[in-house]
Structure 1
């Protein structure tokens, strides 16, 4: 980048940060979905919106994006980090627990949708290769849009949320072979498609094996070393290096960067650093995904919509209707009520963000004509744009259907399929924390632990302990351990300020959860009580009571009398540190 380009690049970054930091929060205050906000803002300030008038109104150049390619590179990073986060969610245990929905419901949805849409595309005169690409790519939905909607409505843990997530999970898995298929179909060599597919498959297997070897030999030990020195900036740097480094490795092997980011997430998903990495990368993913959706909005040409006032809306409606009807039937077959099935079908009816990658790749390889490619990108962009308001209508429709059929609208709020609930979170897994964990295990009470000592975490996980690396004073990390479904949090942390900060964060995130905290002394106990702890036990109290008990025994005080005296004193002291 030369000096002439630098100001333009800087202008794009500053304008985006201003929009993300100022305008989008204002839209959210008016209950406008952030995804919808980014799409709409992209349409307004993009090259097909106000950006096309910069020649006649020069001052608009300071407030608009006149060239979409200036943001396209950064927008691609948003998709890379999205795939990385998806990889973090794809632990082997989770896939196995959800195998019926992921590989049953998800596979049927993609297969049936691709068959119907691809058949229609072929009937409209597209080539076989073009129809295959369009059929599969339009069968995918937008993971970013749908998961954002489910998260905002706190429905990820419901059966509808789990079924929806399973469909999206299979679609994300299917992106990788689809990219391989597109690259093979686009090759003009004289070799057969079967031969090319075999070569691509072998290359993919070799790349995955190499990445797995690198991950087990380099990535995990590197995370462990960084965690030992407890440098948060180094931890963040290694996280970004892993994501982009593995993505660059797969690109060098002739595969996609998105596949590499997915594999990078999978490498970390089975380690004790998974939740800490999720918390670390979340701000970057949010910003970059916002930039991606803004770039999608920039690609929606309103004049093209006006030029096709009938065909374009009918195509959007057609995609939504085909996928929606298939999904409604499949959701019902897999156990959802008709109302929730209808809601899920409407929610997943849109095209997905990977269409912009796959269709762009197909355009570059000559598999799809420019006219068809750009038209389908408009269809996908518009379908994503109208999804948030459509989902609100879908929810009302689903509630109405369930009410009419005699089923309550909230009937789906059952326990998640693969997520822990009714558990205890133990923050700090030293000697005291481990003792608590052992007692909980003996009674069959599920628990999760979080610990900042990476060496201790590694040793305990080798023994099968449910402990994760991370700082419990970060409430966002505890939310990754499903704080909202926990029955209690036990804090045994050594660091005084961190424990007080953790109590405040937990109480703000989950006002009703019971917090039992260990304190160094009575002053620390008072601080924890003021922060919102339910029960506080000072270490000095138990030490003092045990020593007093020893003295009573030496003096010949009867055992039952000594026990009663100690219990009375313990109860009196603990009562002082209970919230009033």
Structure 2
């Protein structure tokens, strides 16, 4: 089978299996693993050698570590240091030691036992965080404990990535010098990346962002990630380590959320390919030959991690109930466990039998994770014998404070967005703005404005603005196409938030409302209304009457502001004619087809043209009724798009 058809087979299998798993509300990672086992060499064997794809799939891990680096925040780490160090780091170390001892009792060598300990110590950041967010448990104390432990586990991945290739070279005295050399080289590379990254990367992205080209920004992000990965690989270290450091350098920059949004599609696709290649290594025959081994590894993994996290949680001063719940949430193996399994297998630390057993246990542990997270609270209450209502209610204590809540999100911080923000400030209403112009963002942030750099069309950027807790979104761009995309994205993330859109005119008013906008404010027509209100006010019309007329016009979609009489300087290009509505006067001849007929009989509504007025013998009949009969020599004032008005004029005269 040619490479093209092999890739096509992988895509077909991935799409079908992921679709099925998502229908069953199972994680996509499991779907990729199962797809790999089905089409791999131990399954249908229709993809050839998985090594052909591993080089590309490895980039998925590179991009995953880059986004992890973006999330790595030293201030955040310091704020959670009690949980991170007291529970997270101790959990990794204690689990590692327990597994090493147990593995060596089963006759496994120390290097292999060490890697198995690292595999078991890690949990699934992707599955746990997503499940906690969907269930709302991330706001509970048990959810906060879980996040702290996951943060420490993610950091612990980096030394494992360095050590596993060294362990594969054999455990001897030379390994100590190799380890020392690796630490020296690692320290040097980290220092180089930290120095150049902090000084160089922000300046590079400043220059790129000023070009205002999305493709260039994405390409630069990919290039920086791969360059950092290549640098660490050149010094004999993991590519993922370089990507992690590059992400960390940009994690505190204003481009953080846009970088994460740009890299996510590449990361998800390549990471999916990586897990497919991992699944290709799963030997079904080995699984069938050793179901007891898989069940034992699975059971020990769950028991060890639940017990360790529960004990460390209570020891750190957390309640037994929250500690039990966090243990159930983090009992599974993680996506990085599969990374370490693949790395250990490639370095000769695992044989095919051990690889398959660990993969099988890992897949099963991740499969039961949603079930365990959904029931973690109830199980924890039963285990602590706290069956009364007050004990359950205590589980919601210490909800994390969101940066913003019940606030206004301003999409676009240009002239209009800044004007809106000033009035919000005067009323002490919290807001956050999103803008893609780096110069404007820099200036605004220097002045203390709460502004995010990024595109409001990206879900990650909107989530960073805490869109789910916002009460109002103001879309101030003016360009209907851009506003339409933003409205759709906002509405997909939040069904309840109010969306107010500013446009230059009302060409896309209906389209924006159908996309989910609650209010659309056409700037040019609103300007006309303000002018009209001033004219009427200075002409002596009572203010209450002016307000009623303005409100009625808005409710009527600015209907009386649409048509106008064209002149010499009117733009008559094809595009303009399609957008505008003209007002045109036509005289009915003595033999006109419409003479003697009522407006209703002519059925002009279907032709989408309206008769605004009738001039008859020097008198005007404004807004004639449907029963009004037309007469020869009447002058009809028609409103509609130019081509429609032309057709209706011919129809009125000749009936065709």
Distance, in Å, in 1 between the alignment partners of 2:225 and 2:299 is 37
Name the SS of the counterpart of 2:478 in structure 1.
Answer: coil
* Structure 1 residue 392: Cα displacement: 0.7
The count of corresponding residues between Structure 1 and Structure 2 is 552
The structure 2 residue matched to 1:263, chosen from 245, 269, 279, is 245
* Structure 1 residue 257: Cα displacement: 0.8
* Structure 1 residue 173: Cα displacement: 0.8
The structure 2 residue matched to 1:323, chosen from 299, 305, 319, is 305
Q: Does 1:34 align with 2:28?
A: yes
Aligned to 1:462: 446
Aligned to 1:296: 278
1:359 to 1:71, Cα distance in 2 relative to 1, 3 A: same
Distance, in Å, in 2 between the alignment partners of 1:453 and 1:246 is 26
Q: Does 1:382 align with 2:364?
A: no
Aligned to 1:61: none
Distance, in Å, in 1 between the alignment partners of 2:388 and 2:180 is 51
Greater fraction of residues in helix? 1
Aligned to 1:60: none
> Which stretch of the first structure deviates more once superposed, 443-452 or 512-521?
443-452
On the 8 A contact 1:351/1:380 being kept in 2, the answer is no
Aligned to 1:251: 233
Which structure's CA Rg is the greater one? 2
On the 8 A contact 1:450/1:467 being kept in 2, the answer is yes
Distance, in Å, in 2 between the alignment partners of 1:358 and 1:296 is 11
Counterparts in 2 of 1:73-112, with a 5 A limit? 73-112=55-94
* Structure 1 residue 341: Cα displacement: 4.3
On the 8 A contact 1:351/1:381 being kept in 2, the answer is no
Distance, in Å, in 2 between the alignment partners of 1:493 and 1:271 is 24
Q: Could you tell me the TM-score, scaled by structure 1's length?
A: 0.82
On the 8 A contact 1:473/1:501 being kept in 2, the answer is yes
Aligned to 1:422: 406
On the 8 A contact 1:43/1:299 being kept in 2, the answer is yes
Distance, in Å, in 1 between the alignment partners of 2:78 and 2:429 is 23
1:116 to 1:453, Cα distance in 2 relative to 1, 3 A: same
Distance, in Å, in 2 between the alignment partners of 1:165 and 1:110 is 14
Aligned to 2:435: 451
Name the SS of the counterpart of 1:425 in structure 2.
Answer: strand
* Structure 1 residue 498: Cα displacement: 1.4
* Structure 1 residue 570: Cα displacement: 5.6
The structure 2 residue matched to 1:241, chosen from 206, 210, 223, is 223
Aligned to 1:58: none
Aligned to 1:21: 15
What RMSD, in angstroms, separates the aligned Cα atoms of the two structures? 3.6
Aligned to 1:166: 148
Name the SS of the counterpart of 2:409 in structure 1.
Answer: strand
Aligned to 2:582: none
Distance, in Å, in 1 between the alignment partners of 2:480 and 2:510 is 12
Q: Could you tell me the TM-score, scaled by structure 2's length?
A: 0.74
Q: Does 1:204 align with 2:186?
A: yes
1:107 to 1:533, Cα distance in 2 relative to 1, 3 A: same
Aligned to 1:487: 471
> Which stretch of the first structure deviates more once superposed, 538-547 or 426-435?
538-547
* Structure 1 residue 196: Cα displacement: 5.4
1:184 to 1:463, Cα distance in 2 relative to 1, 3 A: farther
Q: Does 1:514 align with 2:498?
A: yes
* Structure 1 residue 365: Cα displacement: 6.0
CA shift digits 1:288-342 (9 cap, x unpaired): 2222222232222222233334333212211221012112344566687656644
Q: Does 1:533 align with 2:517?
A: yes
Distance, in Å, in 2 between the alignment partners of 1:100 and 1:438 is 40
Name the SS of the counterpart of 1:489 in structure 2.
Answer: strand
Aligned to 2:43: 49
Distance, in Å, in 2 between the alignment partners of 1:46 and 1:192 is 35
1:489 to 1:180, Cα distance in 2 relative to 1, 3 A: same
On the 8 A contact 1:239/1:281 being kept in 2, the answer is yes
Aligned to 1:435: 419
The structure 1 residue matched to 2:484, chosen from 473, 484, 500, is 500
CA shift digits 1:514-541 (9 cap, x unpaired): 1122232355556544543333444346
Q: Which has the higher contact order (CA 8 A, sep 6+)?
A: 1
On the 8 A contact 1:150/1:161 being kept in 2, the answer is yes
CA shift digits 1:249-289 (9 cap, x unpaired): 11112221111121222233222222222222222222222
Distance, in Å, in 2 between the alignment partners of 1:344 and 1:263 is 29
